[in-house]
């Protein structure tokens, strides 16, 4: 530790820390453009100049290491003059077009120009003009505004792991870009918008839409992948205008994936905004009482064990619990939340959680990935793995389709489950080995055997000890784990998904279940679809109950680690749509089976009673493995793994309804064939 | 001349280049091969000069270099566009690089420039002559100030020039000759014009 005096305040900072960090420890804000806590230090904007005693001239605090007894001045006349001069130079070529710039109101340069800018420009020569770049459908570029801080270059090279941006040419002619025109291939590209300190990289879908002070900001949780990134939903009136990440060091640091960030325009399209009931083979618009009456009539006419329910990938915990309790009230144990057919063993939480935890990745020292394209299934989690890899001494191997680009080097062991053993020696040699099993790897006939084999390998290589849990299941969406925690699986004598679809039930309640082909539902089954999008499954329904999307309800979501987090209502659901658990609660009351919770506090208390994860919202109880006995398995087949999400940008009902995501899918992959109506 | 129309579709190192690359890569420790990017780009430029008569680095060749050194292509683009010595678009057979920095300018680099334009059929800096023989570029100081003014033709320095001697040099290049590089007035390296001024005799005199 080194003792440093900043403006008379004595602070102790670790050796090797920068002067800027020491100033922050002393509570002094240092202006900066190029410096970013999570990126390497570039030291090229010169905005963070401070005065250090005995230094002959102001020093760039971001790149200057502290020394014992150093005296730093952050607000002396020299410092103020130096920053004023730097600002004047930065503004020489930066257009003064704040009124038409999308960054206006949340622009570092604008803010700092207020603090350090002069009232008039002394520069009368022509400004530099730089051609705008086309880097894909998500990011709009106005390169005249670029101050060449190179944050985007460092982000794409270091965090995203896709080195595509760079500074070409030199001096006055230097430009940030891809040199060869191309769309950025990173699934984290939206973060470039956040880290750009000026208006050079802005959101294309959000272009000229709104000013930051007009927005109502609501903290929430991203559910379009299972990472559970903390987000802020910015809305104006009845519309979500943008979604940006919040900082949560244990989950997403400050990044977020593109699908969660840009697919919100799908929340406005193909919405179910009123109940529908099928009459004479045709869906007709109905009222809530009519829809409830149709369901009640059907459910009272069949025995309890001929009723079933499926919870889908985007179902929140409250409504899942309500639906489970409703089914129990009807005497049905036919429940399943594994709508994708993943053979998850629900007998012990450790079998379905990401036990190492996301923050725990930083401690691991060897990694085997089985049947998962982590980069596309959980881009932010993948960035965490890349961060660990960057720190060094981290062998990675994967089993799955050949040629996966995970953004860090990984050895390919083979395409089928048999290849897992090929990495056992490396894992055994490691102190804290990690195995990530993709949920997609369990969506096959021998899924249970794959799960058992992966667990057995983890036990065999010493990944399951009292103080280290190296077995991880990586889920795909934000609603999957919550349902598992609530035990939304077949009860005693209950039927599973396959049995229910194959005619094992006469009435089937689908809660946000869009993960399987509607044609698999046996003809004659009465289908109640509760959800927010008119996707394929709604077309099969006999009664449609319009629910709320994740931005439209106060709901609890559980990420792949088993971390319960609260999403909050940012806008109201459209039309007559309602919060999902309230729909089920209202129905239960109508049929005389009123569920024992009438308000939010009561159902949250019921959640906490159902599973301890809901009692420690925001946190996760990380533990080692007390019992290395594995799940029941069988014989694995030699079949190759198939990745579950063929198109990253269109993986769920919301992103399938999104225009922006459709453009991305067209840009980054072969255009999908139009679905037959 | 637009780069789009002339960009070759592929590039591969020939045997001579490969031999050179083998010696270059060996200079760097294992895992630090990316350090060889500048020498390799230079090899590319040389090979293009041999093969097409125009020493430049096409974009496909930068990709080949990136592949060879396991670098992201953008890192090679950055290096290649940073240095003026790499031509990212085709040039003439002879690259006339006129020094216009103060010492050369004071000693008459304007005349040298005029001679290049007149004899080479060039309109100005950045221009390539109609017959594809010459490309004219302005360079900053190349460190031959004592023998100013000078021009560099590809890798060869020609020094102590004036209008007439520059025209003579360019005419010779046109005929396919390569005059001996160095001072065109015959002075020994950077020794005084007209021969030694001191230490002229032997110890006995």
Pair of tokens at residue A436: 């990530």
Task: State whether A179 and B77 contact (CB < 8 Å).
Answer: yes
**CA–CA separation, A280 vs A284, rounded Å?**
9
Q: Do A510 and A258 touch, CB atoms closer than 8 A?
A: no
Cβ pair A170:B82 closer than 8 A: yes
Tokens matching residue A388:
């660990």
Instruction: Note the pLDDT of residue A670.
Output: 65
Q: Buried b / exposed e across A558-585, counting CB within 10 Å, b at 16+?
A: bbbbbbbbebebbbebbebbbbbbbbbb
> At a CB cut-off of 8 Å and minimum separation 6, what does A288 contact?
A275, A576, A586
Mean pLDDT across chain B: 92
- The residue in chain B having the minimum alpha-carbon distance to the alpha carbon of residue A161 is B72
Q: How close B141 gets to chain A, by Cα (Å)?
A: 17
Task: Specify the 3-state DSSP secondary structure of A391.
Answer: coil
Q: B18-77: per-residue pLDDT in tens?
A: 999 999 999 999 989 999 999 999 999 999 999 999 999 999 999 999 999 999 999 999
Cα–Cα distance measured from residue A350 to residue A629, given in angstroms and rounded to the nearest whole number = 11
Decide if B78 and A167 are in contact by the 8 Å CB cutoff: yes
Residues of A in contact with B81 (CB under 8 A): 168-170, 179
Confidence band for A157, pLDDT divided at 50, 70 and 90: very high
* 53-112 of B, contacting A, C-beta below 8 A: 59, 72-75, 77-78, 81-82
- CA distances, B11 to each of B44, B58, B64 (Å): 9, 8, 7
Convert the pLDDT of each residue in A63-111 to its tens digit.
999 999 999 999 999 999 999 999 999 999 999 899 999 999 999 999 9
Q: What per-residue confidence (pLDDT) applies to B2?
A: 42
pLDDT class for B4, splitting at 50, 70, 90?
A: very low
Chain B contacts in chain A segment 389-448 (CB below 8 A): none
A69 close to A15: Cβ distance less than 8 angstroms: no
What pLDDT does B5 receive?
Answer: 52
Cα–Cα distance, A351 to A13 (Å, whole number): 42
Contacts of B72 in chain A (CB under 8 A): 157, 163-164
User: Which of the two residues, B203 and A179, has the higher pLDDT score?
Assistant: A179
- The pLDDT tens digits for A120-139 are 889 999 999 999 999 999 99
| Minimal C-alpha gap between B118 and chain A (Å) | 30
- A180 to B81: CB separation less than 8 angstroms, yes or no: no
Residue A166 sits at the vertex; the CA angle it makes with A666 and A173, to the nearest 5 degrees, is: 115
Question: Which residue of chain B has the CA closest to A157?
Answer: B72
Beta carbons of A446 and A639 less than 8 angstroms apart: yes
A22-36, A269-283, A494-508, B186-200: range with lowest mean pLDDT: B186-200
User: Is A81 within 8 Å of A116 (Cβ atoms)?
Assistant: no
CATH topology of domain B94-183: Glutaredoxin (3.40.30)
**pLDDT at position A447 over 70:** yes
pLDDT at A674 over 60: no
pLDDT the model gives residue B203: 72
Q: Where are the beta strands (DSSP E) in A332-485?
A: 335-336, 366-370, 396-399, 411-414, 433-438, 464-465, 468-469, 471-474
The Cα–Cα gap between A452 and A671 comes to 37
CA distances from A396 to A383, A384, A486 (A): 14, 13, 33
Note the pLDDT of residue B6.
Answer: 75
Taking the CA of residue B18 and the nearest CA in chain A, the distance in Å comes to 26
Name the one residue in this structure whose structure tokens are 């020394």.
A67
Sequence-distant (6+) residues with CB within 8 A of A190 are A138, A139, A203, A256, A257, A258, A261, A262
pLDDT at A675 over 70: no
Nearest to A137 by CA among A669, A675, A664, A674: A664
| Residues 182-221 of chain A whose Cβ lies under 8 A from any Cβ of chain B | none
Residues 146-175 of A with CB under 8 A from B: 157, 163-170
Q: How far off is chain B from A171, nearest CA to CA, in Å?
A: 9
**A163:B78 CB<8 A:** no
Q: Which domains does chain A have, with CATH numbers?
A: 2-93 (3.10.20.740), 123-268 (3.30.70.20), 276-345+480-615 (3.40.50.740), 371-475+624-645 (no CATH)
* Peptide bond before residue A499 is cis, with ω within 30 degrees of 0: no
Closest residue, chain A, to B79 (C-alpha): A168
Q: Which two tokens stand for residue A117?
A: 């800018």
Name the residue in chain B with its Cα closest to that of A173. Answer: B82
Nearest CA-CA distance, residue B81 and chain A, Å: 5
Residue of chain B whose Cα is closest to the Cα of A182: B74
Beta pairing class for A507-511 and A307-311? parallel
Three-class DSSP labels, chain B: CCHHHHCCCCCCCCHHHHHHHHHHHCCCCCCCHHHHHHHHHHHHHHHHHHHHCCCCCCHHHHHHHHHHCCCCHHHHHHHHHHCCCCCCCCCCCEEEEEECCHHHHHCCHHHHHHHHHHHHCCCCCCCECCCCCEEEEEECCCCCHHHCCCEEECCEEEECCCHHHHHHHHHHHHCCCCCCCEECCCCCCCCCCCCCCCCCCCCCC
Measure in Å the smallest separation between the Cα of B79 and chain A Cα atoms. 8
A157 contacts in B (CB within 8 Å)? 72
Q: Minimal Cα–Cα distance from B193 to chain A, Å? A: 39
CA atoms within 13 A on the CB side of A467: 2
Chain B residue with the nearest C-alpha to that of A154? B75
Find chain B residues with C-beta within 8 A of A168's C-beta.
77-78, 81-82
A590 close to B (CB below 8 A): no
pLDDT of residue B205: 58
Q: Which residue of A has its CA nearest to B4?
A: A180
* pLDDT category of residue B1 using cuts at 50, 70 and 90: very low
Question: Which tens digit of pLDDT belongs to each residue from A209-260?
Answer: 999 999 999 999 999 999 999 999 999 999 999 999 999 999 999 999 999 9
Provide the shortest C-alpha distance from residue A156 to chain B (in Å): 11
| CB contacts < 8 A (A, B) | 29
Question: Which residues, other chains included, contact A126 with Cβ-Cβ below 8 Å and sequence gap of 6+?
Answer: none
Q: Which chain B positions have a beta carbon within 8 Å of A183's beta carbon?
A: none
For helices B109-120 and B163-174, the axis angle rounded to 10 degrees is 30
Residues in contact with A425: Cβ distance below 8 Å, sequence separation at least 6, in sequence order: none
Tell me the shortest Cα–Cα distance from A395 to chain B, in angstroms.
16
Q: CA A236, CA A676: separation in Å to the nearest integer? A: 35
Chain B positions in Cβ-Cβ contact with residue A166 (cut-off 8 Å):
74-75, 77-78
Residue A472 · residue A227 · CB < 8 Å:
no
Q: Is the Cβ pair A179, B81 closer than 8 Å?
A: yes
Given a cut of 50, whether residue A676 has pLDDT beyond it is no
How far is residue A137 from each of residues A105, B74, B183, measured CA to CA in Å? 24, 21, 58
Q: pLDDT tens-digit profile of A606-646? A: 999 999 999 999 999 899 998 999 998 889 988 999 999 98
Using a CB-CB distance cutoff of 8 angstroms, which residues of chain B are in contact with residue A170?
81-82
Nearest residue, CB atoms, B74 vs list A165, A169, A170 = A165
| Residue in A157, A165, A168 closest to B81 by CB | A168
Phi, psi (rounded to 5 degrees) for A299: -65, -30
**In this structure, what are the phi and psi dihedrals at residue B131, rounded to the nearest 5 degrees?**
-85, 0
Tell me whether residues A179 and B72 touch, CB distance under 8 A.
no
Q: Residue A266 has which token pair?
A: 């799908």
Residue A275 CB coordination number (10 Å): 25
Tell me if B74 and A169 make a contact (CB, 8 A cut-off): no
CA distance A605 to A437: 32
Helix (H) or strand (E) holding A279: strand A276-279
Neighboring chain B residues of A164 at a CB cutoff of 8 Å: 72, 74
Beta bridge partners of A556: A566
DSSP A397: E
Chain A residues in contact with B82 by the CB 8 A cut-off are: 168-170
Listed in sequence order, the residues at least 6 apart from A628 whose beta carbon sits closer than 8 Å to its beta carbon are: A459, A464
Please report residues of A whose CB lies closer than 8 A to that of B78.
166-168, 179
The torsion of the CA quartet B64, B68, B69, B70, rounded to 10 degrees, works out to 90
**Other C-beta atoms within 10 Å of A328: how many?**
15
Minimal C-alpha gap between B200 and chain A (Å): 49
pTM of the model: 0.92
Q: Which of A149, A127, A126 minimizes the C-alpha distance to A41?
A: A149
Give residue B200's pLDDT.
79
pLDDT, one tens digit per residue, over A289-339 is 999 999 999 999 999 999 999 999 999 999 999 999 999 999 999 999 999
3-state secondary structure A209-237: CCCHHHCEEEEEECCCCCCCCEEEEEEEC
The pLDDT, as a whole number, for residue A638 is 87
Q: Which residue of A has its CA nearest to B86?
A: A169
Flag if A169 and B73 touch (Cβ within 8 Å): no
Q: Single out the residue of A644, A626, A672, A602 nearest to residue A480, CA to CA.
A: A644
Q: What are the domain boundaries of chain B?
A: 10-82, 94-183
Give alpha helix (H) positions in A8-158. Answer: 19-25, 77-93, 108-116, 151-154
The minimum CA-CA distance between B76 and chain A, rounded to whole Å, is 10
What angle, 0 to 180 degrees and rounded to 10, lies between the N-to-C axes of helices A317-329 and A580-590?
Answer: 20
One DSSP character per residue, A588-656 reads HHHTT---S--SHHHHHHHHHHH-GGGGSTT-------S--------PPP-PPP--S-SSTT--SHHHH
Phi-psi region of A15 (alpha: psi -120 to 50; beta: other; left: phi over 0): beta
What is the model's pLDDT at position A677?
39
Of B112, B113, B121, the C-alpha closest to B165 is B112
Q: Mean pLDDT in chain A? A: 94
Residue A676 DSSP one-character state: P
Nearest Cα residue in chain B from A167: B78
Q: What is the pLDDT of residues A537-567, one digit of tens each?
A: 999 999 999 999 999 999 999 999 999 999 9
B27 by Cβ neighbours in 10 Å (0-12 / 13-18 / 19+) ranks as exposed
Beta-carbon separation of A163 and B82 below 8 A: no
Percentage above 90 pLDDT, chain A: 94
């Amino acid at each position: 530790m080194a003792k440093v005096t900043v403006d008379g305040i004595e602070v102790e900072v670790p050796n090797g820390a920068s002067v800027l960090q020491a100033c922050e420890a002393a509570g002094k804000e240092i202006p900066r453009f190029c410096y970013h806590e999570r990126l390497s230090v570039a030291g090229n904007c010169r905005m963070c100049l401070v005065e250090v005693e005995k230094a002959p001239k102001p020093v760039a605090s971001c790149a200057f290491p502290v020394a014992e007894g150093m005296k730093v001045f952050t607000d002396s006349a020299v410092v103020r003059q130096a920053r004023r001069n730097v600002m004047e130079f930065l503004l020489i070529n930066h257009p003064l077009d704040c009124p038409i710039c999308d960054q206006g109101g949340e622009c570092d340069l604008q803010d700092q120009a207020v603090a350090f800018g002069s009232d008039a420009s002394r520069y009368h020569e022509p400004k530099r003009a730089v051609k705008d770049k086309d880097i894909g459908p998500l990011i709009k570029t106005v390169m005249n505004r670029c101050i060449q801080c190179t944050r985007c270059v460092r982000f794409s090279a270091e965090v995203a792991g896709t080195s595509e941006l760079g500074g070409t040419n030199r001096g006055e002619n230097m430009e940030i870009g891809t040199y060869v025109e191309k769309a950025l291939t990173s699934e984290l590209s939206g973060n470039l918008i956040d880290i750009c300190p000026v208006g050079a990289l802005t959101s294309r879908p959000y272009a000229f839409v709104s000013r930051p002070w007009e927005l109502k900001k609501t903290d929430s949780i991203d559910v379009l992948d299972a990472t559970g990134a903390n987000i802020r939903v910015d809305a104006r009136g009845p519309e979500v205008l943008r979604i940006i990440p919040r900082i949560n060091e244990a989950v997403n640091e400050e990044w977020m994936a593109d699908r969660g960030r840009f697919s919100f325009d799908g929340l406005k399209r193909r919405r179910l905004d009123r109940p529908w009931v099928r009459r004479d083979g045709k869906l007709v618009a109905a009222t809530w009482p009519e829809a409830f009456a149709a369901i009640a009539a059907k459910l009272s006419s069949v025995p309890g064990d001929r009723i079933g329910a499926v919870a889908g990938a985007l179902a929140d915990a409250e409504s899942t619990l309500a639906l489970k309790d409703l089914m129990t009230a009807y005497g049905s144990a036919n429940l399943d939340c594994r709508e994708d057919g993943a053979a998850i063993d629900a007998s012990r939480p450790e079998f379905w959680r990401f036990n190492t935890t996301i923050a725990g990745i930083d401690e691991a020292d060897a990694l085997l990935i089985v049947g998962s394209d982590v980069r596309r299934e959980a881009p932010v989690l993948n960035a965490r793995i890349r961060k660990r890899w960057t720190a060094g001494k981290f062998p990675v191997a994967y089993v799955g389709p050949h040629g996966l680009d995970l953004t860090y080097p990984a050895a390919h062991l083979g395409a089928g489950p048999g290849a897992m053993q090929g990495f056992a020696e490396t894992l055994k040699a490691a102190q804290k080995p990690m195995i990530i099993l993709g949920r997609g790897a369990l969506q096959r006939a021998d899924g249970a055997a794959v799960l058992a084999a992966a667990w057995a390998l983890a036990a065999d290589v010493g990944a399951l000890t009292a103080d280290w849990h190296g077995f991880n299941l990586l889920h795909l969406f934000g609603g999957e784990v919550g349902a598992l925690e609530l035990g939304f699986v077949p009860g005693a004598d209950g039927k599973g998904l396959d049995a229910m679809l194959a005619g094992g039930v006469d009435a089937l309640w689908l809660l946000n279940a869009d993960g399987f082909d509607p044609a698999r539902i046996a003809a004659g089954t009465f289908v109640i679809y509760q959800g927010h999008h008119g996707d394929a499954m709604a077309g099969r329904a006999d009664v449609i109950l319009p629910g709320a999307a994740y931005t439209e309800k106060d709901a609890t979501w559980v990420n792949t680690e088993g971390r319960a987090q609260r999403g909050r209502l940012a806008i109201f659901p459209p039309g007559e749509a309602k919060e999902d658990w309230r729909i089920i609660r209202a129905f239960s009351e109508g049929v005389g089976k009123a569920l024992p919770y009438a308000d939010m506090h009561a159902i949250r208390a019921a959640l906490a009673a159902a599973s301890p994860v809901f009692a420690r919202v925001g946190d996760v109880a990380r533990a080692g493995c007390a019992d290395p006995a594995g799940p029941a398995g069988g014989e694995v087949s030699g079949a190759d793994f198939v990745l579950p999400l063929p198109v990253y940008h269109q993986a769920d009902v919301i992103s399938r309804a999104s225009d922006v995501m459709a453009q991305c899918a067209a840009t980054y992959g072969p255009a999908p064939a139009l679905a037959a109506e | 001349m637009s780069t789009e129309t002339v960009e070759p579709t592929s590039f591969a190192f020939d045997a001579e280049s490969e031999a050179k690359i083998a010696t270059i890569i060996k200079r760097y420790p294992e895992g630090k091969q990316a350090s060889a990017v500048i020498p390799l780009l230079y090899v590319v430029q040389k090979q293009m000069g041999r093969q097409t008569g125009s020493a430049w680095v096409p974009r496909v060749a930068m990709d080949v270099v990136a592949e060879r050194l396991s670098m992201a292509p953008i890192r090679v683009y950055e290096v290649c566009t940073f240095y003026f010595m790499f031509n990212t678009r085709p040039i003439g057979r002879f690259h006339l690089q006129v020094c216009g920095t103060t010492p050369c300018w004071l000693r008459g680099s304007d005349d040298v420039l005029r001679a290049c334009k007149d004899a080479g059929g060039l309109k100005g800096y950045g221009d390539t002559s109609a017959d594809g023989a010459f490309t004219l570029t302005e360079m900053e100081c190349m460190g031959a100030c004592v023998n100013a003014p000078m021009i560099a033709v590809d890798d060869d320095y020609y020094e102590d020039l004036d209008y007439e001697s520059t025209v003579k040099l360019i005419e010779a290049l046109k005929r396919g000759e390569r005059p001996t590089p160095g001072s065109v007035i015959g002075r020994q390296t950077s020794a005084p014009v007209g021969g030694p001024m001191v230490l002229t005799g032997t110890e006995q005199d």
